[in-house]
């Protein structure tokens, strides 16, 4: 990935971020396994603290729910503040 934004509401496999040179991935890390699945040569993960960024993520999840009626997205929106602590932002190093 060289640009853009991706939101992942499910599990990810190993080697996440390999070759990533730009953009942002927001990953819901419910089981706290993301750290071992990241390709640390290319990316790092951190929490979300910026309110503008948090609102952007909420909007992306809301739009996903609106267009797909995803049950998972609906659950997240039902307790967004609770889910927020499990989201990680993955960015290139």
- Rounded distance between C-alpha atoms, residue 84 and residue 29, angstroms: 10
- In tens, the pLDDT along 82-92 reads 999 999 999 99
pLDDT score, position 3: 87
Buried b (16+ CB within 10 A) or exposed e, 8-37: bbeebeeebbeebeeebbbbbbeeeebeeb
- Is 80 exceeded by the pLDDT of residue 1? no
- Rounded distance between C-alpha atoms, residue 71 and residue 74, angstroms: 5
Residue from 13, 7, 2, 1 nearest 67 by CA: 7
Note the pTM of the prediction, 2 decimals: 0.93
- In tens, the pLDDT along 21-74 reads 999 999 999 999 999 999 999 999 999 999 999 999 999 999 999 999 999 999
pLDDT score, position 33: 93
């Amino acid at each position: 990935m060289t640009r853009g934004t991706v939101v992942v509401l499910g599990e990810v496999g190993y080697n996440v971020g390999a070759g990533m040179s730009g953009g942002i991935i927001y990953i819901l890390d419910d089981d706290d396994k993301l750290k071992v699945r990241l390709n640390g040569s290319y990316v790092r993960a951190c929490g979300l603290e910026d309110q503008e960024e948090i609102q952007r993520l909420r909007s992306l999840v809301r739009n996903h729910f609106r267009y797909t009626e995803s049950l998972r997205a609906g659950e997240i929106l039902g307790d967004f503040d609770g889910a927020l602590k499990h989201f990680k932002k993955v960015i290139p190093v």
